[in-house]
Amino acid sequence: MTRRPTQLLLATLVLTVTVGGCSNQNHTEAPPPSGSPPAPPTTQGQFTLPPVSPITPTSANAAPTGIPPAVAPPQVDAAPFNDPLRVTTAWMRQFCQTDFMEPINENLSRAATYATPAATAADITRGDTTQSYQQMQQQKLATRCDQVEASINPEAPATPSMVYVQVSAARTQLADGRPFQRLPLASTRRVVRGGDGRWLVDSAVDAG
C-alpha cells in the first residue's frame, strides 16, 4: 500500500518531535577540550573588592542602609573654634572622610583647619604612604562618615586652656562608590586653647 504525501509528512513531523523531546531531556554538555583556559572569575564592576572580614551586625557596626553624604570643605567660620567639642567634631568630619580622587592625605590637609600644626604633622607621618595611596586609587576606595560625637573625658586632667576630648564616628567604606563595610572610628585628642582664644585639636593620646 502506497502512503499519500500528507501521511508521509505527518509521520515525519511526529518522528522529529519525538526525537527532539528526548534529546532535550537527556542532553549533557561535553567537557571542554583538554588545555582550554578556565572561565574568567566574576568581578563586580570590573574590579575586585579588597578582602574584608565578615561583620556581625550590632548597633555599632550594622550594615549600612545608605551612604552618608560627602562632607563639605572647611568653612571660614569662627563658631567651631569657640568650643573644644565643636572644633573636635568639625576636625573629625574632615579627618574621617577620604577619597581616591583626592591628593594623598587630603583628609589631613582639610582637617588641619581645626588642628595645631604639630598635630597635623604627626597625623601625616601615620597617614597614607605612596604605596597605600596607589592601592587606594587602583581599588577606587573612599570613606564617608556620620554619627560624629564628641565629649570631654571627665577622668583626664583639664585646665581653662586644655581638655581631653573623646571623639567617635561611624565610617562607611566604599569601593567604586559602593559600600562594603561599616566600622567605628574613635580617638582621644588633647584640645588646646591658643593665645588668640581659639580652640584647636592637638596630639592624639591613643592609636585611634
User: What is the rounded average pLDDT of the residues 59-73?
Assistant: 64
User: What is the rounded average pLDDT of the residues 45-70?
Assistant: 47
Residue 78: what pLDDT? Answer: 78
What is the tens place of the pLDDT at every residue in 117-138? 999 999 999 999 999 999 999 9
Which of 33-37, 64-68, 120-124 is most confident? 120-124
User: What is the rounded average pLDDT of the residues 53-77?
Assistant: 59
DSSP characters over 131-171: HHHHHHHHTTEEEEEEEEEEEE-TTS--BTTEEEEEEEEEE
pTM exceeds cut of 0.85: no
Q: Give me the chain's average pLDDT, please.
A: 76
With beta carbons less than 8 A apart as the criterion, state whether 113 and 78 touch.
no
Q: Is 114 helix (H, G, I), strand (E, B) or coil?
A: helix
* C-beta neighbour count of 171 within 10 angstroms: 20
More confident residue, 67 or 125: 125
The ranges assigned to domains in the chain are: 79-204
Specify the CATH number of the domain 79-204. 3.10.450
Predicted confidence band of residue 28 (pLDDT cuts 50, 70, 90): very low
Residue 76: what pLDDT? Answer: 67
Which of 58-67, 174-183, 195-204 has the lowest average pLDDT?
58-67
